[in-house]
Structure 1
């Protein structure tokens, strides 16, 4: 009897393991989770022709073709942050923002390993490019002021302020 009980428990554990693996596989396939081998670290460094002049900061906002309110807010608040705090830098070209439909612009999505909507900050100076994910924006999309304050802190850090 003890043997049958142990076998039943082992079968349940094996079944749970199969379910967990199947769920994880589904999340990876859907693009919600990436495996370490699939995605570089948060900061990607690669050589580019960024020249030796002053650096640039570019916000890359990736979105789906069909957009929800939160996605629209995320982009709008990023633009408002630039308008409110970085007007001179935007006019000089030191800071910019691009809105990219990753479902339509597959080349750019592949270049930056994008599978879901989000914000990346790309900095380029001295022949080096750094790209960082900013997933924390989603914590602030329902509060414009908090979003703007947070993003300003992130951009200031990139600008060395």
Structure 2
């Protein structure tokens, strides 16, 4: 009978002592409070330029910002505006189709920087697109 009562107690004690998970959650919460999100909104049906915008954004982030990605200071998101689960986010940014935004989150405040015109102008020129997007992201990271 004692073993029957001891087992649940030991199990509950072991579960309550796992501190590794709570530490990573705390760190993630701190990182999440101040960050930059590069958000590529798109519709289900995309033109070549729209696909190039996503590809060149991903290329730029993966090539130049690995440390910022790993630390959580920079996030790259692709969001299909045609999916119901994304309606609220698309509405928040007033994105009805392909749009590119930098969302700067600092001290709980958001600043939306619309890069859509730039993205369509340079979207099919990877070198020009990447150089300018890199500069824009670096400016915002320095300001954090």
Matched positions, count: 112
| Contact persistence 1:52–1:126 (CA under 8 A) | no
Match of 1:116 in 2: 97
Match of 2:77 in 1: 98
Match of 1:72 in 2: 51
Match of 2:138 in 1: 156
Unaligned runs of 5+ in 2: 1-28
Match of 2:107 in 1: 126
More helix by share: 2
Match of 2:16 in 1: none
TM-score by length of 1: 0.64
TM-score by length of 2: 0.71
1:86 to 48, 51, 65: 65
Q: 1:84 to 1:75 in 2, by over 3 A?
A: same
Q: Matches of 2:31 and 2:70 in 1, distance apart?
A: 20
Offset of residue 56 of structure 1 = 0.4
Task: Flag as ranges the 4+ runs of structure 1 deviating above 6 A.
Answer: 50-54
Offset of residue 110 of structure 1 = 1.2
Unaligned runs of 5+ in 1: 1-49
